[in-house]
């Protein structure tokens, strides 16, 4: 999967807007990873990235008005990401959880690299799906951030997918 080329940040989100963006997905200000900002990033599909240190098990879609709110910040979806556990979750606007969000892994990889979480040549595994029946690992490597591509290996007998994300 080609992630659309160069990762881009869309706009700036003032800290005073954080509560209105995180409460509809079940989070509080205490859940946020304080050293990391909420950001909208895209490699083709824009995501509000919500870095947290706690509360991933409480995340969900708890507002019918969340889609226009996200759109007002330039995002199509929100992706909650536990910085320490390297685990993410996302939901559609009807509350259904996505077990494997390849389109979010590019922006997450670029975000982690931009904020110094990822070192050049280091492999990072991003987990998703623990709260469903499957577990997915997104792996990416930091080089120069010029393009993002994603490949997948299917393991049907294990009901798992392995995504390898290379950030160039």
Tokens at 143, concatenated = 């080089």
Any idea where the domains of the chain sit in the sequence? Answer: 2-167
Burial 75-90 (b: 16+ CB within 10 A, else e): bebbbbbbbeebbbbb
Most confident of 99-103, 147-151, 159-163: 99-103
- Model pTM? 0.78
In tens, the pLDDT along 19-73 reads 999 999 999 999 999 999 999 998 888 999 999 999 999 999 999 999 999 999 9
Q: Which CATH superfamily is domain 2-167 in?
A: Diaminopimelate Epimerase; Chain A, domain 1 (3.10.310.10)
Query: Distance between the two ends of the chain, CA-based, in angstroms?
Result: 14
Give 20 or 129, the one with higher predicted confidence.
20
What is d(CA 38, CA 9) in angstroms, rounded to the nearest whole number?
11
Tokens at 1, concatenated = 């999967």
**Mean pLDDT of the region 76-86:** 93
What is d(CA 29, CA 66) in angstroms, rounded to the nearest whole number?
18
In tens, the pLDDT along 2-27 reads 555 677 889 899 999 999 999 999 99
What is d(CA 102, CA 47) in angstroms, rounded to the nearest whole number?
12
Mean pLDDT of the chain: 79
């Amino acid at each position: 999967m080609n992630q659309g080329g160069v990762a881009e940040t869309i706009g700036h989100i003032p800290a005073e807007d954080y509560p209105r963006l995180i409460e509809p997905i079940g989070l509080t200000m205490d859940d946020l990873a304080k050293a990391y900002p909420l950001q909208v990033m895209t490699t083709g599909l824009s995501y509000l990235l919500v870095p947290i240190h706690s509360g991933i098990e409480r995340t969900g879609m708890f507002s019918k008005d969340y889609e226009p709110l996200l759109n007002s910040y330039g995002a199509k979806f929100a992706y909650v990401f536990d910085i320490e556990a390297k685990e993410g979750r996302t939901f559609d606007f009807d509350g259904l959880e996505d077990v494997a969000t390849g389109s979010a892994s590019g922006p997450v990889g670029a975000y982690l690299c931009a904020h110094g979480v990822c070192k050049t040549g280091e492999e990072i595994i991003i987990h998703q799906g623990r709260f469903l029946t499957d577990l997915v690992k997104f792996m990416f490597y930091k080089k120069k951030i010029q393009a993002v591509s994603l490949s997948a290996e299917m393991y049907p007998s294990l009901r798992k997918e392995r995504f390898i994300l290379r950030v160039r």
